[in-house]
């Protein structure tokens, strides 16, 4: 079939169609939609998501940008003037709904028969005396001190809530523009989920888009260095570029949105797609050296005859492996699985038809020096060494690999699920610094709301809210707790004198609470209450701000609140974006585990069918299990937290690992069938087929090392983990699998 298609009239179609396909698929990319909000993809019945939606319906959506201004003394005239100007400018902008800072908060207090309601800053101090008076006032203002101004007066916080219907990038750029214009060159830091999303979206994606072509260039250079022939470069790379382009173009065409998970598409495609081409070119070179008198027709036909089957099988198993993502709970992961399988199928077809169609029309090339005696390249020497080790010291190899495996398993127990997405950025990034400041000087970056239901004006309900507030305040991670009960307490201090019974107390009658609230509505801003209680006073929230470095600290607060809700009559449930994000990370990780398990089973079955031996199928998964275990183990030891992106990278191991193994099995098996013993078969396989594997792996490794140039930590982590996975797959293929086969040759060769 292949040979027939390679005849002239068909050949041109084989070349033109893929090129047209590529161009055609690039067009829909212009309409690609980027969706930065992954939580939307969580299944609708996820409890934390439902709870958050219910709370947001009543109390509004909360996704602010947080700004921290730094100054030697934030009460300096110039600093305060600037913050006030920024507050005014942002409040006036139609992009923002409300802006909270020291200039938008009140100072409510009581004094000998008076109740005073002032802005927290009545006027900007003109001299040192006024400044110190203001400092004292702020220290006594529970609505400002340590909430909006840090204890040491070096930092001031501004919380900016955007109006609905504006894009993240519009919100971030408008905020930055305003602050840069007014605050000038003094230090300020930005934080907030919205800002992080935008940073990852814009910078990480942009870096990836710039660095990917560079990665391809590095791969091209390496392939040229290895094959010493232009065709060795052009052909596999054409396959990579066309199939990657088409799979990316498929996303908008199928109506899929780009999310952080979709980043996996080009990474996986680039890692996998050149596999097939490299093996074909490598085989052609091998045959060219062995049969110097054959013409191109004969060489290409013979090459295809010999590699087409293993290439087809590697392609099919990779597709099966990647399709494991289809059972993933998260839609974008499913979509990635679908798009990548189609992309890999295309790469496979291109390698089997398009590539030989071009190759056959080329002039015969020179014999590669790898195949000449005494002129071995570095890779060739490496392969000989690998074969030597596998053949002579297989037991040592297995012991060493077992040790590494054991250490990795221990590492997995140290693995943490990330709850702080800002860790995707490097330590020097704005968002890491601001998080540190918020954790050290303000209440922390995690927010959770606890919903209370009942007659909110009932002293029993308010007292229970106060009880939760006191309980949480006693925990060292808690930064601030705010609710209707805290406002009522502030009012009880303002409306009563220190020696009054009612001072700093929740009133014990419903009337008194109703009157406090009504009074606040008359004199204050009724919107102040809307964050804490609904219009009909049947639902209220206690809002908790806290610090959590890791998932243990996070869970301890959640558990505390859960236990409170369980025994409380009025406290119903807790919700917060941070809980949804944690659930999402967990479901992506769990989903990935299911996907990997499914992929593994599919691969065992496929290998079992292909090699007609269950044991071969099992051995085929050894490199995969080893690579994935070491990958997660290394993350555990290196303190790299498991998150959406890092967990999905394990799919790459499936894609690549299985390819290497099949090529290896195929060749060793056919050498044994040709009458060679296992030692000879391993030696021949590693120096020929092994060459293709090594060239392929090293070119992809070098290509991805380009990502280290990015200033963004998550891309560096990406690169590190991808390279590590590829390297492990390579070592498994060149050393571990041959060593196992040396000891147990029966796995692959039937006893005669």
- Where along the sequence are the contacts to another protein (CB under 8 A)? 92, 94, 106, 110, 113-119, 122, 457, 495-496, 502, 507, 509-512, 514-516, 518-519, 521-526, 535-536
- Closest contact distance (angstroms) between CB of 535 and another protein is 4
- Closest contact distance (angstroms) between CB of 587 and another protein is 33
Closer CB to another protein, residue 90 or residue 585? Answer: 90
- Closest contact distance (angstroms) between CB of 514 and another protein is 4
State the Cα–Cα distance between residues 305 and 193, nearest whole angstrom: 55
Closer CB to another protein, residue 122 or residue 187? Answer: 122
User: Euclidean distance between the first and final Cα of the chain, in Å?
Assistant: 33
Closer CB to another protein, residue 457 or residue 691? Answer: 457
The partner residues of 539 in beta bridges, in order of sequence, read 453
| Per-residue exposure over 270-305, b if at least 16 CB sit within 10 Å of its own CB, e if not | bbbbbbbbbbbbbbbbbbbeeeeeeebeebbbbbbe
Closer CB to another protein, residue 511 or residue 566? Answer: 511
- Closest contact distance (angstroms) between CB of 40 and another protein is 24
- Closest contact distance (angstroms) between CB of 99 and another protein is 15
State the Cα–Cα distance between residues 308 and 539, nearest whole angstrom: 67
- Closest contact distance (angstroms) between CB of 527 and another protein is 8
Closer CB to another protein, residue 525 or residue 549? Answer: 525
What is the signed CA dihedral for 436, 442, 445, 447, rounded to 10 degrees?
Answer: 170
Closer CB to another protein, residue 24 or residue 119? Answer: 119
Closer CB to another protein, residue 119 or residue 711? Answer: 119
Between the CA of residue 596 and those of 66, 314, 327, 588, what are the distances in Å? 39, 17, 10, 12
Element holding 574 (H helix, E strand) = strand 571-575
State the Cα–Cα distance between residues 540 and 571, nearest whole angstrom: 9
Quote the strand ranges of 45-165, DSSP E: 65-70, 96-100, 106-111, 114-119, 155-162
Closer CB to another protein, residue 119 or residue 639? Answer: 119
- Read out DSSP for 354-420? IHHHHHHTSPPPPPPGGGSTT---HHHHHHHHHHHHHHH-HHHHHHHHHHHHHHHHHHHHT--B---
Between the CA of residue 169 and those of 96, 99, 162, 429, what are the distances in Å? 13, 18, 12, 18
State the Cα–Cα distance between residues 512 and 24, nearest whole angstrom: 72
Closer CB to another protein, residue 415 or residue 495? Answer: 495
- Closest contact distance (angstroms) between CB of 699 and another protein is 57
The partner residues of 226 in beta bridges, in order of sequence, read none
- Closest contact distance (angstroms) between CB of 155 and another protein is 26
- Closest contact distance (angstroms) between CB of 494 and another protein is 8
């Amino acid at each position: 079939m292949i040979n027939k298609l390679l005849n002239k009239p068909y050949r041109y179609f084989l070349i033109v169609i893929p090129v047209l396909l590529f161009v055609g698929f690039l067009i829909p990319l212009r309409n690609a939609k980027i969706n930065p909000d992954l939580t939307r993809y969580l299944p609708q019945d996820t409890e934390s998501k439902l709870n958050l939606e219910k709370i947001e319906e009543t109390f509004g959506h909360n996704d602010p940008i947080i700004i921290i201004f730094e100054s030697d003394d934030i009460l300096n005239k110039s600093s305060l003037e600037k913050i006030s100007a920024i507050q005014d400018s942002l409040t006036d902008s139609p992009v923002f709904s409300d802006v909270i800072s020291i200039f938008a908060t009140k100072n409510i207090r009581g004094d000998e028969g008076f109740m005073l309601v002032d802005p927290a800053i009545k006027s900007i101090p003109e001299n040192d005396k006024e400044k110190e008076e203001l400092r004292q006032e702020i220290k006594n203002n529970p609505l400002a001190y340590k909430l909006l101004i840090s204890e040491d007066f070096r930092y001031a916080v501004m919380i900016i809530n955007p109006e609905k219907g504006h894009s993240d990038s519009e919100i971030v750029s408008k905020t930055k523009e305003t602050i840069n214009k007014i605050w000038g060159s003094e230090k300020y830091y930005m934080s907030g989920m919205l800002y992080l999303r935008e940073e990852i979206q814009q910078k990480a994606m942009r870096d990836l888009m710039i660095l990917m072509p560079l990665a391809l260039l590095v791969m091209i250079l390496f392939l040229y260095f290895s094959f010493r022939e232009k065709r060795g470069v052009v052909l596999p790379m054409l396959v990579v570029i066309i199939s990657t382009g088409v799979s990316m173009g498929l996303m908008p065409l199928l109506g899929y949105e780009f999310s952080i998970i979709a980043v996996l598409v080009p990474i996986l495609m680039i890692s996998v797609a050149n596999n097939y081409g490299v093996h074909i070119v490598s085989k052609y070179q091998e045959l060219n050296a062995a049969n110097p008198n054959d013409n191109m027709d004969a060489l290409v036909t013979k090459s295809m005859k010999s590699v087409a089957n293993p290439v087809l099988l590697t392609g099919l198993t990779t597709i099966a492996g990647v399709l494991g993502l289809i059972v993933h709970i998260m839609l974008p992961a499913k979509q990635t699985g679908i798009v990548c399988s189609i992309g890999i199928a295309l790469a496979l077809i291109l390698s089997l038809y398009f590539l030989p169609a071009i190759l056959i029309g080329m002039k015969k090339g020179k014999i590669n020096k790898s195949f000449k005696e005494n002129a071995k390249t570095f890779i060739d020497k490496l392969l000989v060494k690998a074969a030597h080790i596998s053949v002579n010291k297989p037991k040592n190899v297995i012991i060493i690999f077992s040790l590494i495996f054991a250490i990795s398993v221990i590492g997995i127990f140290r693995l943490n699920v990330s709850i702080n997405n800002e860790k995707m950025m490097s330590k020097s990034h704005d968002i890491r610094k601001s998080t540190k400041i918020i954790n050290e000087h303000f209440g922390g970056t995690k927010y959770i709301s606890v919903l209370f239901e009942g007659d909110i004006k009932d002293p029993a309900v308010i007292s229970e809210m106060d009880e939760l507030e006191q309980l949480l305040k006693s925990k060292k991670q808690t930064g601030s707790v705010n609710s209707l009960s805290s406002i009522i307490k502030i009012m009880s201090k303002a409306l009563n004198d220190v020696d009054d019974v009612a001072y700093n107390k929740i009133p014990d009658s419903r009337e008194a609470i109703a009157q406090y609230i009504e009074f606040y509505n008359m004199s204050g801003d009724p919107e102040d209450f809307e964050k804490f209680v609904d219009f009909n006073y049947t639902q209220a929230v206690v809002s908790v701000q806290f610090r959590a470095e890791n998932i243990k600290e996070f869970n301890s607060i959640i558990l505390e609140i859960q236990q409170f809700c369980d025994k409380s009559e009025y406290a119903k449930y807790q919700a917060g974006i941070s809980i949804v994000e944690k659930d999402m990370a967990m479901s992506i990780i769990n989903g990935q585990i299911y996907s990997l398990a499914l992929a593994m089973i599919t691969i065992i079955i496929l290998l079992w069918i292909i090699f007609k031996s269950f044991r071969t199928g099992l051995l085929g998964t050894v490199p995969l299990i080893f690579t994935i275990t070491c990958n997660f183990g290394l993350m555990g030891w290196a303190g790299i937290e498991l998150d959406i992106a890092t967990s999905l990278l394990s799919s790459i191991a499936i894609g690549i690992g299985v390819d290497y193994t099949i090529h290896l099995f195929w060749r060793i098996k056919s050498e044994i069938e040709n009458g060679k013993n296992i030692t000879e078969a391993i030696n021949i396989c590693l120096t020929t087929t092994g060459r293709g594997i090594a060239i392929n792996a090293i070119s992809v490794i070098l290509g991805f090392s380009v990502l280290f140039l990015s200033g963004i930590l998550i891309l560096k982590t990406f690169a590190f983990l991808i390279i590590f996975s590829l390297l492990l797959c390579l070592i498994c293929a060149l050393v571990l699998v041959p060593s196992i086969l040396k000891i147990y040759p029966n796995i692959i060769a039937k006893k005669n």
